[in-house]
């Protein structure tokens, strides 16, 4: 299908959807109902559309509460699922791990278009009225499609502010001038809740996440403990720099990242340098995807314990490993899960009060 044909088809479908939603809104108002979520008692409202967000230097306008959203990247998908929006999602793509615990039922409502990047044609086939993503690399040439192409086809897009806050033109998966904070993740939750007209659900989700953060870190002090985060790749490992999601985790438990001096998100670092840093604890990404070498935690441990350069490291000799889903090592609501598991691991090793 040619680009112009795609454009005519998608725009026409979106206009029909918008017209139908507008008629539905009028019927709802005429009947005295309280909005699209009133049947669930949420108190959220469909009033106030169209709505516009300022997102990563762009204005994103939705004409009506999205009904056929496609979410790309696991973090973005899990926010929508945690907001109870499975029945308003037309598809998901780009996963690294099984879905977050507690979201299985909601996730089962949504077709998975691909474990990796779905083809643009598959996304457009779902007639999306919104496309969301966690990473700029996903909405780019060579991946699914650039944001501009979706916009030309009449499909609004939303990119996680946590990703566009860094310079994505550098190596090491981008560079951060400023440290990421949980407030940035909460802001994304609130943005998406507003787009869908479920603001109260968004506030409840943020409140739950804040409560978990407090419970996980209250009284926890791992000062003097160094931690290293290994995401993937056995030849030249991707390790966490100072300022992404692992930075949130490290600061929350009071520890120090062994590679805190670099602002690259996930720099690739040689084994000799890793061994020289000799961290007290190694946090291992336990991924189910198969894009790189040493995706699973088990494969990483095998590499660490068989490599003559690394097997003498303190964390390796004492088997101080914390396994985390890859999704918990990226900026998302799963970062809270990362804080919980690292805090528990440090206490178990006797390295945190």
Average pLDDT over every residue of 103-118: 97
Average pLDDT over every residue of 19-36: 36
pLDDT of 268 reads: 96
Residue that is last in its domain, among 164, 181, 210 = 210
Split at pLDDT 50, 70, 90, the class of 353 is confident
Task: Report CA 107 to chain centroid distance, whole Å.
Answer: 15
pLDDT of 44 reads: 53
pLDDT at 34 over 60: no
**What domain range is 183 assigned to?**
47-210
Residue 321 Cα distances to 37, 40, 173, 342, angstroms: 44, 43, 24, 10
Task: Report CA 305 to chain centroid distance, whole Å.
Answer: 31
pLDDT of 28 reads: 35
Q: How many CA atoms lie within 13 A of 112 on its CB side?
A: 15
**In contact, 145 and 124? CB cutoff 8 Å:** no
Residue 6 domain-assigned (yes or no): no
Using CA atoms in the order 99, 174, 304, 248, what is the torsion angle rounded to 10 degrees?
A: -60
Residue 13 domain-assigned (yes or no): no
Average pLDDT over every residue of 89-112: 96
pLDDT at 223 over 70: yes
User: 76-79: long-range contacts (C-beta < 8 A, 24 or more apart)?
Assistant: 76/132, 76/133, 76/134, 76/160, 76/332, 77/107, 77/110, 78/103, 78/327, 78/332, 78/333, 78/334, 79/188, 79/189, 79/192, 79/332, 79/333
pLDDT at 23 over 60: no
Number of Cβ within 10 Å of residue 262's Cβ equals: 18
pLDDT of 170 reads: 87
Task: Report CA 133 to chain centroid distance, whole Å.
Answer: 8
Residue 295 domain-assigned (yes or no): yes
pLDDT at 137 over 70: yes
pLDDT at 97 over 60: yes
CATH number of the domain that 313 lies in? 3.40.50.1980
Split at pLDDT 50, 70, 90, the class of 291 is confident
Longest distance between any two alpha carbons in the chain, whole Å: 74
Residue 12 domain-assigned (yes or no): no
**In contact, 204 and 193? CB cutoff 8 Å:** no
DSSP single-letter state for residue 40: G
Measured distance CA(56)–CA(165) in Å, rounded: 8
User: Considering its fold, how many domains does the chain have in total?
Assistant: 2
pLDDT of 234 reads: 95
């Amino acid at each position: 299908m040619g680009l112009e044909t795609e454009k005519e088809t998608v725009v026409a479908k979106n206009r029909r959807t918008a017209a139908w939603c507008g008629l539905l809104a009028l019927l709802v108002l005429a009947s005295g109902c309280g909005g699209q979520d009133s049947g669930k008692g949420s108190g959220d409202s469909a009033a106030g559309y169209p709505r516009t967000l300022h997102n990563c230097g762009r204005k994103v306008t939705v004409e009506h509460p999205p009904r056929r959203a496609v979410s790309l990247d696991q973090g973005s998908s899990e926010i929508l699922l945690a907001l109870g929006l499975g029945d308003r999602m037309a598809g998901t793509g780009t996963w690294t791990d099984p879905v977050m615990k507690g979201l299985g039922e909601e996730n089962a409502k949504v077709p998975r278009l691909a474990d990796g990047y779905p083809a643009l044609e598959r996304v457009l086939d779902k007639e999306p009225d919104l496309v969301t993503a966690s990473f700029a690399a996903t909405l780019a040439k060579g991946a699914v499609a650039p944001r501009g192409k979706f916009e030309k086809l009449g499909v609004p897009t939303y990119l996680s502010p946590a990703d566009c806050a860094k310079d994505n033109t550098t190596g090491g998966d981008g560079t951060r001038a400023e440290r990421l904070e949980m407030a940035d993740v909460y802001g994304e939750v609130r943005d998406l809740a507003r787009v869908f007209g479920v603001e109260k659900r968004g506030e409840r989700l943020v409140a739950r996440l804040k409560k978990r953060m407090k419970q996980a870190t209250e009284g926890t002090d791992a000062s003097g403990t160094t931690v290293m985060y290994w995401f993937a790749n056995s030849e030249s490992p991707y390790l966490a720099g100072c300022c992404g999601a692992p930075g949130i985790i490290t600061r929350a438990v009071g520890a120090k990242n062994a590679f805190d001096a670099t602002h690259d998100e996930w720099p690739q670092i040689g084994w000799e340098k890793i061994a020289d840093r000799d961290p007290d604890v190694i946090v291992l990404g336990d991924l189910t995807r198969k894009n790189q070498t040493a995706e699973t935690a088990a494969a990483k441990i095998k590499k660490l314990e068989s490599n003559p350069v690394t097997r003498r490291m303190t964390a390796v000799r004492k088997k101080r490993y914390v396994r985390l889903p890859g999704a918990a090592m990226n900026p998302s609501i799963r970062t809270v899960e990362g804080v919980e598991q690292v805090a528990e691991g440090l206490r178990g090793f006797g390295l945190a009060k």
